[in-house]
Structures are given as structure tokens and as C-alpha cells.
Amino acid sequence: MLMTKLSTVALSKLSPKIRIPQYDRTNLRQHIVHLGVGGFHRAHQAVYLDDLLALPDTERWAECGVGVLPADARMRDALASQDHLYTLVERSADTATARVIGSMTGFILAPEAREAALEKLAAADTRIVSLTITEGGYFIDEATGAFLENHPDIQRDLLNPIAPITSIGLIAEALDRRRLRNLPPFTVMSCDNLQHNGHVIRKVLLGFTALSNPTLRQWIAHHVAFPNCMVDRITPATTPADIAFVSENFGIDDAWPVVTEPFLQWVVEDTFSAGRPAWERVGVQFTPDVAPYEIMKMRLLNGSHLAMAYLGALHGYTRVHEIMQDPVFARFITAFMDQVTPVVPVIPDTSIPNYKRTLIERFANPTINDQVTRICSEGSAKIPKWLLPSITELLDAGAPMDLLALVVASWIFYFTRFTDERGQPLDIIDARAPELTRLASQSVTDPSPFLALESIFGAALPANLHFVQTVTDALDQLSTTGVIATLQHYLTIS
């Protein structure tokens, strides 16, 4: 197939089967600045905006990306080489469709152009600043939720407020410039996979400015909106195979396409400082309370990811769909969801059984090739959010939680092993890996060194003898009989 390098002038040369922006991109206004442009943002928020721009009679909102880290230079260069256009491929088990997204019209790499980034944020045209900066970008203690004001990067920004290196410092300085210029504030909208993400970014920003500029803190507290939102779309990192797939199947030479699933969801609290796009026209759900949707997703989708992650990795699986093709694992994930369901909130017009069936279909999609390593990564940060709250509430209700305790045990066991059951090395990615590996070496079948980590497990769960014994039994079962026999045992007794 003849390949076409993606660019504005090349759009007309692409196959008519490929949806392209039909709107005038030169007539757009960069009312949104997004910090942390990765695959997920380009498969999610940018797509909703592109959908909206395709409709008649809508405001001409566009976005400018900002890279906060030096490593973001790769994204800057890739997008700049193709007029900030990129290919989005949606793949189901049976079909693959491609479209070109045009809602991003600029990109600034803050480490190389810090003043330009600050002025873009502070510009009167900027009405929303959105973020996908991962959990680590918020500088929050995982166990207590406290702002990590002593973190070296935060301390560096407190000493150098006009040349910040963190997203928090960038937002604070930009808001201060707007305050001093008598400009209204922009909305700060976290789109990261954090429960109460709007509350989290507000807490962090107020904590930072309380130390750096109390007057600014008061202004932010009274005038800036921080909507909570729930985002959902499985989007693995782009691989060389994905780039080749786009080239071979659609004839597009794209430096950094995005391959994702057809499913897409965004639930947003409708509170904004300076207006917003009419996203409800393209399927965004606006609600006064996002929390039930967040809990449903975290406990069922994210919790199930953890349920398959460490057990799947230990058994030797490298892709999520491979796990779901194993009938024992498929039964286990279904049983895990059923055990969690009693602590999933009831949401009007939402069928939990249908949601669970949809999740099973999404996990089993063989074309996404979601890596098990990706969902295993940073478990020390994920488990306190996605698994432990469910365990706590099930214990309080006197309900079974043995399958969830098995997941905790599988995470602990993961750190005792250097290879999977097929003899392949395990790739452990966790900011606390050295500490956790050291603890695991103390005893293969005793979870107490891990459970004593109050920064992960808090104080109440390790004091619950039933929880400790259930995790201990699961860890012993894993180390004695292996993954599949353990799963079969738990499926028999649950």
C-alpha cells in the first residue's frame, strides 16, 4: 500500500474510509491547555473535542498540549512533524477503523520553553487547563492523602516559583499571573485515574500556594473550579507494531498513532470557572456527583485488572487477552467481580450486570494487546485505591472477601519471584520495588512484613486478624500449589 506522511496537506490523499477533520483548523481557538499529552489523552479527551468540532454550530475550541518532562520532547517532535495531527485506530475483535484527530493545534515543551508554557496557561484565551500526569504528578502520600510538601521537586518550585518544573508549580504561577492581571481564572480539570481527582488537585494546589503565596491561595480557593471526572478507555502504549499496523492497513506514515478499544466513557461534574465545550452533545455525561461512577469503575474495572495482573504474570501470560482466553482465569475474574459487587454503588440508569459483561468483553479483546506488565506496574500505588477499600467494606459487612485477599497475596508473592512459572524473568516496575523486594526476601509465606507497611495498608486492615489470616492462607496456597491450582481451589470454595 502506498504510504502518505500525515500532514494537513496530505489529508485529501488518504483513503475515503479514513475519517478526517472536516472543520477549519486554522479557525480554532486554543481554549484548553493540556498537561501531560500521552496515549490516553489522545484517545479520550482529544477525541471528544474532535467529535464536537465535527458538529455544526459549536464553539471553535481547540487545545494546546504542554509537555512537563524532558522525555516529552519525543511527543513534541512527533506531533510537530505532522501539524499536530495523529491517527486514532479503534480495534475490536472483528474490525479496525482509523480516523485522524485534529483537535490539538499546538504543543509546548515546558523544560525548553518554560516562559512560553506559562504565558500560554496565563493567556486570556485559556479557559480550561486539563491534566493527565499520572498519580505521581500530584505529590500525594498514598496512605494518608497528605500533600508531600517536602518532596525535592516541590521544594525546588517553592524556591523558584517563576521557573517551575512541576505541573503544580506551572498551574500556580499561571494562576498568579492571571490574578495580577485581573483576568478570570481557568478551570483546573484532572483527568487522571484518581478517585475525587478534582478534590485531589485542589488540595495539592492549595497546599502548595499556602507555602508559596497565601494571597494566591485565597484567590484560588474562592474563584477556581476543580471538577471531578471519571475517565475510561483502555489505551496501551503505542508499539512499533502499532505504527506498522497503521502504515500497512491504512497507508498512513504516522510517527505516533494511538491504538485503542471502541469503548469510551467520560463522566464530569458540571462546575467550570470560565465555560466549557458542549461536550454533552457528543456523549459526555454531566452529573452533580461523579463519585458513584468512580467507585464502580475502580472496584470493577481497575480491581479486576489487579486480579488478573499478578496472577497472570506469575503464570507466564504477557497479554491481558491471553489471560481471559484461559477458562480458569475467566471464571476467576467473573467470580472476583461478583464478590466485589455488594460494595459497588447503585447508579440510576446503569446496569451493573451489563457493565460487568462489557468489562469481560473489553478484557478479552485480542486486538488491543494490552500488556500485563503495564497493569502490574506501580502496584504499591494502585492497591490502596483499587482493592483495599473494597476489602475494608466487605469486612465491615461480614461479606466474603477471600478472592480479594488472594489478589493481595499474589502481589506479595510477585515480589518473591524472579521468574514466572514458565521460567521467564518477571519485569517488576514499582517506585518501591527495592523496599518491597527486600521485605519479600524475609519470608516467602509470611505477609506480615508487607502488611505492616502503613503507607499502603493503613492501620485497620493489618489489625484485622481475619484479613491477615486470609492473606496468609492465600500466600501459602500460591507458594505450595502454583497459580492454576490456587485459582481452582478458590473457585471451588467461593
- The Cα–Cα gap between 453 and 462 comes to 9
Is it the case that residue 418 has pLDDT exceeding 90?
Answer: no
**For residue 80, what are the CA distances in angstroms to 3, 12, 53, 385, 406?**
19, 19, 21, 37, 47
- Tell me whether residue 229 is exposed, middle or buried, using C-beta atoms within 10 angstroms of its C-beta: 0 to 12, 13 to 18, 19 or more: buried
pLDDT at 493: 86
pLDDT at 136: 86
Confidence of residue 200 (pLDDT cuts 50, 70, 90): very high
State mean pLDDT over 347-351: 91
Among 315, 304, 243, 248, residue whose Cα is nearest residue 87? 243
- The Cα–Cα gap between 52 and 4 comes to 26
Give residue for cell 478479552.
364
| Residues contacting residue 274 through CB under 8 Å, at least 6 positions apart | 127, 128, 184, 185, 186, 187
Is it the case that residue 353 has pLDDT exceeding 80?
Answer: yes
Which amino acid appears at position 94 of this protein? D
Average pLDDT of the chain? 96
**For residue 79, what are the CA distances in angstroms to 82, 257, 293?**
5, 10, 33
- Its pTM stands at 0.91
Cell numbers at 44, concatenated: 479520550
Span 87-119, pLDDT tens digits: 999 999 899 999 999 999 999 999 999 999 999
pLDDT at 182: 98
Span 430-485, pLDDT tens digits: 989 999 999 988 877 899 999 999 989 999 999 999 999 999 999 999 999 999 99
State mean pLDDT over 230-241: 95
What is the percent of the chain where pLDDT is above 90? 92
- The Cα–Cα gap between 76 and 159 comes to 28
Is it the case that residue 411 has pLDDT exceeding 90?
Answer: yes
Span 21-50, pLDDT tens digits: 999 999 999 999 999 999 999 999 999 999
Give residue for cell 456527583.
289
Span 58-90, pLDDT tens digits: 999 999 999 999 999 999 999 999 999 999 999
Is it the case that residue 1 has pLDDT exceeding 70?
Answer: no
